Amino acid sequence: MKFTCVDSFCGAGGLTLGLKRAGFDILYSFDNDKHCIDTMRCNSQYFSHTSECISIEDLIAEDPLKKLCLNRGDLFLLAGGPPCQGFSIQRIGKDTDTRNRLVSAYGELLEILYPKYFLMENVPGITGKRGSYYLSHIIEKAKKMGYYIHEQILNAQYYNVPQRRKRMILVGERLDVGIPNFVYPAPSSKKITVRDTISFLPAPPEDGSCHPDFPLHRRDKLSEKNICRLNALKEGEGRDSLPPELLANCHKLSSSKIGHRNVYGRMLWDDVAPTITARFDSFTRGMFGHPEQTRSISLREGALLQTFPLDFQFSGTKVSIAKQIGNAVPVNFAYEIACQILKCYKDKMESEK
């Protein structure tokens, strides 16, 4: 049997690669960001399936079953993570965000394809006031379609990822396939650290060019003041450890009052990294300073902390690549969840013999 999969909102392919490693047959992946699809296409050593730059609304309008040569119900897994920025507790502004409606569109695609399983990944904020309406809507819709729903927040650091990264993982299994038996993968006590992941890399060239042996391993240009800030910090320290004269004006008040404690900081060698975000290439945005060198971590280091392979290529501008890396599902995290879906399905089939 082929465990066929469609990966929606595929981004740079972190989820796709984890699914493929676990044994899924990826039929098709899509995203509306051209740079992401270019990234998928330039990694032919990992991907050979069709990937397309298209919005989910346009895909639905084109009749996905006909496009993919599928009958309704044939697909094994629909996977994807609708853009989560609208649900993030870090976002400033109104609670409404047009991107939130993409969760509902995912539900429409689910109804059209009617796969045996579906997997949806999102930030924990989708369970809060900004996202609970959309989450409850898709859960109720899936239940009416005949799915049993599993919902849990997992932290990627317990699934072979050197990074704290909490994500809500929604898994649906179709009731006509058999008695629901999915259980989330058990967390591991093994910690993979920043040192384990990036310490083998040499320092990137001082002139800002890429290291000749490691593409995308280059240092970001820093202002003199930011160089002073980094030099004033030991590994694991952030803005609360800076002397008053090096604090930004907006940080003169204590972080206990205004928050943003984990900015202008260095990572710890022997701990996991903080959550790699779409702006991880700037240490002003988080604890993204190298543990000992006077620089932010490089794009390549960020990709490694997201458990992309060392030879994985990315297409686009520096800002676009950082966004692709930061928004990706860590490959190892995806792999663990994907393996568990397959294991539970095979156990189910075995028990029904």
Show the tokens assigned to 234.
Answer: 């030991």
Which pTM was predicted? 0.92
For the segment 1-26, what is each residue's pLDDT rounded down to a tens digit?
899 999 999 999 999 999 999 999 99
Which pLDDT score is estimated for 250? 63
The domains found in the chain, sorted by start residue, are 4-188+330-351 (3.40.50.150)
Cβ–Cβ < 8 Å for 274, 236:
no
Pairing of β 166-174 and β 147-155: antiparallel
- What are phi and psi for residue 134, nearest 5 degrees? -70, -40
Residues 130 and 86: beta-carbon distance below 8 Å: yes
One-character DSSP codes across 210-251: PBTTBTT--PPP--HHHHHHHHT--TT--GGGS-GGGS-GGG
Instruction: Work out the number of other CB atoms within 10 angstroms of the CB of residue 5.
Output: 29
CA angle 168, 170, 176 (to 5 degrees): 170
pLDDT in tens, 205-261: 999 999 999 999 999 999 999 999 999 999 999 988 999 899 877 655 554 444 445
24 with 5: CB under 8 angstroms? Answer: yes
Distance from the first to the final alpha carbon of the chain: 16
Return the closest-CA partner of residue 313 out of 220, 217, 218, 215: 215
**C-alpha span between 36 and 18 (Å, rounded):** 16
Percent of the chain topping pLDDT 90? 83
Residues 37 and 52: their CA atoms lie apart, in Å, by 6
Q: How far is CA 26 from each of CA 92, 156, 173, 218, rounded to the nearest angstrom?
A: 36, 23, 19, 33
- Residue 304: which of 212, 199, 191 has the closest Cα? 199
What is the pLDDT, as a whole number, of residue 95?
47
- Match 């990822």 to its residue by tokens: 161
Among 294, 276, 301, which Cα is nearest to 234's? 294
Rounded Cα distance between 218 and 220, Å, is 7
State the DSSP code for 298.
P
**Residue 259: predicted pLDDT:** 44
Round to whole Å and give the CA distance between 160 and 152: 18
Give the model confidence (pLDDT) of 124-165 as tens digits: 999 887 678 889 999 999 999 999 999 999 999 999 999 999
pLDDT, position 53 = 98
